[in-house]
Amino acid sequence: GENVEQHPSTLSVQEGDSAVIKCTYSDSASNYFPWYKQELGKGPQLIIDIRSNVGEKKDQRIAVTLNKTAKHFSLHITETQPEDSAVYFCAASKGTGRRALTFGSGTRLQVQP
């Protein structure tokens, strides 16, 4: 089955700096890559996603890039703010069914004011 590895497990940045979280996947048939943000005591919430026919997608301060050849994708957060502090999960799937989502192990991002 699919295996998704996520790095780093923790990341601390100064407010205003950029943060990058990287994920690799094992199944070359995977074609959907969402990112979720989980705040303390809450469930994960989708922040951005990308399909395999697109190399990059941006939404204000966040962007995701995908390299299908290398089988990795990354989340980029620019101009970080304290409210960006949370746990971020990447995921991958190859089917249209959401049951096929395989999650990474998560990255705890701490933005220091």
Kindly list the residues in this chain that would bind other proteins in the complex (CB under 8 A). 1, 4, 6, 9, 32, 34, 36, 41-46, 49, 51, 89, 95-99, 101, 103-106
Sign of the torsion angle spanned by Cα atoms 98, 104, 44, 88: negative
The SS3 call for residue 99 is: helix
Output 35 or 65, the one with its CB closest to other proteins. 35
> Token pair for residue 101?
């989502």
CB of 49 to other proteins, least distance (A): 7
| Residue number, 36 or 73, with CB nearest to other proteins | 36
What lies within 8 Å, CB to CB, of 88 at 6+ separation is 21, 35, 36, 37, 38, 47, 75, 106, 107, 109
Smaller CB separation from other proteins, 85 or 93: 93
CB of 24 to other proteins, least distance (A): 14
